[in-house]
Amino acid sequence: MIIRTVIVDDEPLARTRIRSLLEREPDIVIVGECGDGRQAVSELRRLEPDLVFLDVQMPALDGFGVLEALDNERLPAVIFVTAHDRYALRAFEVHALDYLLKPFDRERFQKALQRVRSQLEHAETAASRQRLLALLEDVQAARKPLQRVVIKSEGRVFFVRVEDIDWIEAAGNYLRLHVGRETHLLRETMNGLEGRLDPAQFVRIHRSTMVQFDRIRELQPWFHGDYRVLMKDGTKLTWSRRYRREGVSDGTLL
């Protein structure tokens, strides 16, 4: 039995790692690779693979968003790949779906792959699809957009409303929140916070930068496909080509 497989991960090294492990499996044929969620939706609809290795946390559209965009009757077998999505791990365990927690070794990889083989060989796809749909329902309920963040500074603990944040930048092991004329340090990763913010409110424009849509004044074409972002407070940022979303054209945010 040949298992047609697609790899979806926004990190090139992660895709290379999975590809190298799969190339040793005679029953696996890699039919596609995707570096972001939007491309994944298009390719999964077109290719209709048997199996997808799906990264949970990706900019713009995460792994759960990818599955939600697909036809429920054509969902492939899924092996999720995740770094630190705590509620997702709990949900995976409850619904008996397999996942790989980064970094994973070959032995753990083989166990996940064997589970998929067993599922496909014994025609358990209908039951697996129901478990996957149940997982998506749990995730949708659990990941309501963050409304406020807790800041701890010099013995004080206070709250910052998410709607008051203009933009966010990485600062070592912290994130620096720009709130009007004030800045606050939050001990969190960019990927971690991005997954908890409303994607209709905040957009990732760079590996180390997120901005609130309503705070953008203007976009200007820049070098090599990037955009210069002019914020309403006068701050100038760069929107990397890698993080450009659909709807950005000729300096206008649609």
The 10s digit of each residue's pLDDT in 53-70 is: 999 888 778 888 888 888
Q: Is 127 helix (H, G, I), strand (E, B) or coil?
A: helix
Kindly state the average pLDDT of the residues 142-164.
83
Kindly state the average pLDDT of the residues 128-134.
69
Q: Is 33 helix (H, G, I), strand (E, B) or coil?
A: strand
Q: For residue 230, how many other CB atoms are within 10 A of its CB?
A: 16
Task: Output the pLDDT for position 136.
Answer: 67
Interval 165-202: pLDDT, tens: 999 999 988 999 999 999 999 988 888 888 788 888 99
Task: Output the pLDDT for position 140.
Answer: 61
Q: Is 171 helix (H, G, I), strand (E, B) or coil?
A: strand
The whole-angstrom separation of Cα 146 and Cα 40 is 26
The whole-angstrom separation of Cα 106 and Cα 112 is 10
CA atoms within 13 A on the CB side of 207: 3
Kindly state the average pLDDT of the residues 27-49.
94
Task: Output the pLDDT for position 242.
Answer: 80
Query: From the centroid of its chain, how far is CA 178?
Result: 23
Query: From the centroid of its chain, how far is CA 58?
Result: 2
Quickly count helices (H) and strands (E) in the chain. 7, 17
What is the helix (H) or strand (E) element at residue 44, kind and residue range? helix 37-47
pTM: predicted TM-score of the whole model, two decimal places: 0.56
Closest CA to 50 of 100, 123, 108: 123
Q: Is the dihedral of CA 61, 62, 68, 71 positive or negative?
A: positive
- Domains defined for the chain, CATH in brackets: 3-142 (3.40.50.2300), 148-253 (2.40.50.1020)
The DSSP bridge pattern shows strands 156-161 and 99-101 to be unpaired
Kindly state the average pLDDT of the residues 129-153.
72
